[in-house]
Structure 1
Amino acid sequence: MTYFEGFVVPVPKANKDAYRKHATEFAPMVQEFGVARMVETWGDDVADGKVTDFKKAVNATDDEDVVFSWFEYPDKNARNAANEKMMSDPRMEEMGANMPFDGKRMIMGGFEAIVEEGAGGGGYTDGFVVPVPEGKRDAYRELAAKMAGVFRQHGATRVIESIADDVQHGKVTDFYRAVKAEDGETVVFSFIEWPDKAARDNAWKAIMADETMKPDGDMPFDGKRMFWGGFEPILDTAKRETAHA
């Protein structure tokens, strides 16, 4: 199944255009390395949470927004080969010296798809980061597969659930800290692609009002530490164009 490199990035609001330019210039290079698709989405409907949220995940300040981003690869071997090329390419050092964000607070990691429904593409994305007990992987996958079908029925173009495979602990921020992961827990990087924001909003209203969608028993994760948000695309190499959100 598809392998994902997931990113959450704090970016100054004033640097939105600079970030889009940086990503647009970076895209051809990563595609040269082997990235099949690169997507950059800018925080649009990202609420503050009581326990965790996207902003806390990267220690975002009041003058910063959050970018939810990912690279797609056909498999882990392709991802590893691409990373080796990136590490040895001198252009990467130049790109790294001119980043319009604080790279020390960016979180990233490699995730293996466990649910993959739909062909992808769209005008709006819901992003999720979820702490899942290792012993409940199968239960989570079963629930996620069920929910993916529901989202697709309500108009989602694609639903991805990917679980941590190569996610390192960072000095300042990381995916584990982001969800306050406990011993014996892993992390899921998940997203839903929609045709546009209106379709997403209408779908969620219908899903939340559906009595049959209420859980029958205990959830296979701690919902209080899960966080999510809505994001507008600013770059999608599958479309070969940059969105001007």
Structure 2
Amino acid sequence: MERYVDGFLLPIAKDKVSKYKEIAQKSSQIWKELGALEYYECIGDDLDIEEMVSFKKAANASEEEVVIFSWIVYESKEQRDKINEAVMNDPRMKEMMESGDQDLFDYRRMAYGGFKILVNL
């Protein structure tokens, strides 16, 4: 069966990175427990490459923000849909979402999409 990937790009305030990491670690455990194959949260490091669009520009990040690049791997798009539904209904996730930590970043500034794998070695 063909794997499927959800990808995310978002800016986050530098002073909120440690709290974001804490929430991401908890979230990753839920996604993995419910069936995701892989879960990655990466923070921008080498983003200013000459003659290319930087991730900072793509994420519209200010000088006070860093860029987070994330992806989750699933067995298939159908599995992704089932897992994401289960994650959103998981009481631990609901608790995190209701805790007030949702102001860690503006989800409307997040780029998100589902991807079919083109090459996998």
TM over 0.5: yes
Partner in structure 1 of residue 109 of structure 2: 105
- Report the residue type matching 1:102 in the other structure: D
Matches within 5 A, 1:17-166: 17-47=18-48, 52-96=53-97, 97-99=100-102, 100-117=104-121
CA distance in 2, matches of 1:5, 1:91: 21
Q: CA deviation at 1:5?
A: 0.5
Residue aligning to 1:236: none
Render the CA deviation track for 1:170-204: whole Å, top value 9, x for unaligned.
xxxxxxxxxxxxxxxxxxxxxxxxxxxxxxxxxxx
Aligned partner letter, 1:115: V
Q: TM-score, normalised by structure 1?
A: 0.44
Matched letter for residue 120 of structure 2? E
Q: Distance in 2 between matches of 1:66 and 1:82?
A: 26
Listed one character per residue, the Cα deviations across residues 67-123 of structure 1 (whole Å, up to 9, x for unaligned) are 111001111121111122123334333323413222221111110101011xxxxxx
Identical pairs, percent: 38
SS of equivalent to 1:4: strand
Distance 1:50 1:61, change over 3 A: farther
CA contact (8 A) 2:8 2:70 kept: yes
- How much has 1:57 moved relative to structure 2? 2.3
Q: Which has the higher strand share?
A: 1
Please state which structure has a larger fraction of its residues in helix. Answer: 2
Structure 1 unaligned blocks of 5 or more: 118-245
Assess if the C-alpha contact under 8 Å between 2:74 and 2:80 holds in 1: yes
Q: Is the 8 A contact 2:34 2:83 kept in 1?
A: yes
User: What's the secondary structure of 1:87's corresponding residue?
Assistant: helix
* 1:48/1:55 contact within 8 Å kept: no
* Alpha-carbon distance in structure 1 between the residues aligned to 2:53 and 2:61: 12
Residue 48 to residue 12, structure 1, CA distance change in 2 (3 Å): farther
> What is the alpha-carbon root mean square deviation over aligned residues?
2.0
Unmatched 5+ stretches in structure 2: none
- Match of 1:44, SS state, is coil
Q: Taking structure 1 as reference, are residues 48 and 102 closer, same or farther at Cα in structure 2, changes over 3 Å only? A: farther
Report the residue type matching 2:107 in the other structure.
G
Moved over 6 A (4+): 48-51
Sort the Cα spacing of 1:47 and 1:5 in 2 relative to 1 into closer, same or farther, 3 A.
Answer: same
TM-score by length of 2: 0.83
**1:206-245 alignment, distance < 5 Å:** none
